[in-house]
Amino acid sequence: MKILPAIDIKDGQAVRLFKGDFSQKTVVNPDVLEQARVFKEAGVTMIHVVDLDGALEGWAANRDLIARIKAETGLAIQVGGGIRSLEQIEDYLAVGIDRVIIGSMAVKNPAFVEAALQCFGSDKIVVGIDAKKGLVATEGWLETSDQDYVSLALAMEKIGVRLFVYTDVDRDGTLTGPNIQHYQELLKALKQARVIASGGIQSAEDLEELKKLGLAGAIVGKAYYQGNISLSQLKEIDED
């Protein structure tokens, strides 16, 4: 299971939110590049970057900063937040970003995901499914659709998606543990696609439990920034 430390960017700083609430923002490092270097020096090979401004505004607001992270650290990077066009995806891939996450558009325009898969391939395109009480949330988690997370995953798998990031929004940033039941249900339903866990992880024990489920990866944010999990612990669990 691949471990991906998270850098969420808001106003040019690395931040953490509580349950996706932008009014409950904590700056964890004012220097995003410095935080990326910390991960690099610790032996981390891939990070998860979220453009929170982009998620709110609907465009790649922090594109230049994210491109600098790639250029200056050489880390493998998967990026999400504000992906609304094939041009944005193409631009991210052109500057070396390894995977691009499509979130809101998967609900609102499934044909966009299909087009992205055809243009760039299933190894470059990830669908992010964020759910509140099982229903998919969109637009930086400010809106909730009437579609449940399993049905969206199955629909996306049918058109060729092979990797998901699933987040239980109600657990994100809470350190209350991941929603194991939801991951079990996703893994049971999906035939080919794999799943990266995100949200609620509080300890190395949580990561070991997720690893036993057979998940492709896990994203660690607040648990690292608050000192619950060390970088050395993340490295011990991490494997490609």
Catalytic residues: 8, 130
- Which of 191, 129, 186 lies closest to 160 in space, CA to CA? 191
Contacts 24+ apart (CB under 8 A), 74-77: 74/40, 75/36, 75/39, 75/40, 75/44, 75/45, 75/46, 75/47, 76/45, 76/46, 76/47, 77/46, 77/47, 77/48, 77/49
Distance CA 192, CA 189 (A): 10
Characterize 97-136 residue by residue with b for buried, 16 or more Cβ atoms within 10 angstroms of its Cβ, and e for exposed: bbbbbbbbbbbeebebbbebbeebebebbbbbbbbbeeeb
- Which of 27, 128, 20 lies closest to 78 in space, CA to CA? 128
Amino acid (1-letter code) at residue 227: G
